Amino acid sequence: MDNDIILEFKNVTKKFPGVVALNDVSFKIRRGEIHGICGENGAGKSTLMKILSGVYPHDTYDGSVIFNGEELLLGESAIQEAGNKGIAIVYQELTLVPTMSVGENVFLGREPVERGAINWNKLYANTREILEKYQLDVPPQAIVKTLGVGKMQMVEIAKALSEKALVLILDEPTSALSEAEIDKLMDILKILKSNGITCIYITHKLEELFRITDKVTVMRDGKEIVTEETKNLTQEKLVKYMVGREMKERFPKASRTPGNVIFKVEDLQALDPNEATRKVLNGVSFDVRKGEILGIAGLMGAGRTELVMTLFGEYGKVINGKILLNDLEIKPSSAREAINAGLSLVPEDRKGMGLVLIQSILKNISLPNLDQFSSFFRIDADAELKASMQQSKNLTIKTPSLEVAVETLSGGNQQKVVISKWLMSKPSVLIMDDPTRGIDVGAKYEIYKLMNDLAEKGVAIIMISSDLEEVLGMSDRIMVMCRGHSTTTLSVAEATVERVMALATGISS
């Protein structure tokens, strides 16, 4: 075998009940390269990586995988075997234990033990060493749940890198990272590459593929569509390979005229509930009109998610300011109260807050909306199914049926279920925290269309997003947050990437 090739997939086929996740996939990955993989939600990317990392042992799929010159025959404790062979993976969904510290997570199951006890000093020293080596800015002793998703992702990376890796698989590593953190990750990848480590990089962000990869494989419907040198590809070509058709524009056209102000926040200030001296919101003011999309931009850590959680009574301790819905002050002390008042939330962390993973898609979509289908305490199952089917079709949720458990869906399709659930709840104010994170280009377009539809029907939408193009493309006005407070609200006509960045970084106010 060619020594240049570290990895070869040969006719790999993997089936789940009702789904062919991988259909006769064959391609090669060269040693020391950064190899990108992209494709629509449910295309089979994560499944292929799970075969590599031993989640699916070799007797659960057809075809073969040649790794470093020999066939990868992972057996019983396949995940460990894969790790020992030098295959490291950072999964798409966070896998950390929220109540444990960063160090405990990085060395989970591999804690340094001396005389029958864990050597904590050593554990934290080793953690610090890894974090510093790769310039990951996280305190080793911090409890994971107190970190934002961005930092959590860094801990995941540290955890994978602490093994002696030949191949490092990153499954959508940047979907929650800020621009600066993405830059840092790109630097890390370059360092790894110069050390001869092969990286497999899965992402929906095409610009990243062009920035960092040597080669790209596009997958669609479980098949490998093309494997090509990045320098021979263009964005247009990639999108066409991914969705199987041309896509001219990223954002659908909208026609709407916003009405009266329906939701208003005045000088909101709040403390960290766990650390009473730390202000997480330091003067946030904005309003949203009926039928308007207000974008909220800001850097990682600017307080956007803290704002949302505070509005829902789930996080910050409010010490000043007002929240007004229809001119009436509301003081929700739980998400339930906020929802009853008329707010809805598509949360950032779909696994933690959005879904009951072991329940079916149908139940997840319709559960918060059952009152729509109930009369005299009976649930109209047909209406429930029909409405849920319609949503699922609108958002192209890829599944054999609505009865399957949400946990078996691909990451992006899980996110679509979360969105469906709240779109059906017909709220008057809908707050979406990074709604299209991890969603493929085709489905993003569908979500944007649904947002436009809702706005046209008079729903006020607040969209938080780290994707500036998306904020600029979808919003009527844009509120920029910087270090816990709101700066100027811009109309979309006056907003540019430069202007928003200047506000977000505090260069202008």
Ligand X SMILES: Nc1ncnc2c1ncn2[C@@H]1O[C@H](COP(=O)(O)OP(=O)(O)OP(=O)(O)O)[C@@H](O)[C@H]1O
Check binding of 408 to Mg ion (CB under 5 A): no
**Angstrom distance (rounded) from CA 2 to CA 386:** 54
300, 148 Cβ separation under 8 angstroms: yes
Nearer to ligand X, 19 or 471 (CB): 19
Candidates 45-53, 147-155, 174-182, 382-390; binding stretch for Mg ion (CB under 5 A): 45-53
Helix (H/G/I), strand (E/B), else coil: 498: helix
Any contact of residue 310 with Mg ion (CB under 5 A)?
A: no
Residue 369 touches which member of ligand X, Mg ion, none, C-beta under 5-8 Å by kind: none
- Cβ neighbours of 69 (radius 10 Å): 11
Integer CA distances (angstroms), 296 to 138, 430, 461, 466, 472, in order: 26, 13, 11, 9, 10
Could you tell me the CA-to-CA distances from 171 to 46, 328, 344 in Å, in that order?
A: 7, 45, 29
Q: Find where tokens 């050390």 sit.
A: 195
The 387-416 contact track toward ligand X, x by CB under 6 A, reads -----------xx--------xxxxxx---
Examine residue 19 and tell whether it contacts ligand X (CB under 6 A). yes
Of the candidates 15, 25, 17, 43, the one whose C-alpha atom is nearest the C-alpha of residue 398 is 43
Nearest Cα to Cα of residue 151 among 161, 164, 140: 140
Which amino acid is present at 338? A
Using CB under 6 A as the binding rule, the residues of this chain from 413 to 452 that contact ligand X are 413
Q: By CB under 6 A, name the one of 27, 36, 47, 477 that touches ligand X.
A: 47
411 binds Mg ion (CB under 5 A): yes
Interacting partner of 217 out of ligand X, Mg ion, none (Cβ under 5 to 8 A depending on kind): none
Q: How far is the CB of 170 from Mg ion (least distance, A)?
A: 12
Amino acid at 385: L
Distance CA 461, CA 447 (A): 13
Q: How many CB atoms lie within 10 A of CB 398?
A: 18
> x/- site string to ligand X, residues 63 to 92, per CB under 6 A?
-----------------------------x
Q: Which residue is nearest to ligand X (CB)?
A: 412
- Alpha-carbon distances, residue 432 vs 292, 367, 442, 471 (angstroms): 13, 19, 19, 12
Rule CB under 5 A: choose which of 7, 29, 46, 156 binds Mg ion: 46
Query: Toward ligand X, which CB reaches closer, 411 or 484?
Result: 411
CB 416, min distance to ligand X, A: 9
Give min distance, CB of 41 to ligand X, in A.
3
Q: Which residues bind ligand X (CB under 6 A)?
A: 16, 19, 21, 39, 41-47, 92, 398-399, 408-413
Q: Which residues bind Mg ion (CB under 5 A)?
A: 46, 92, 410-411
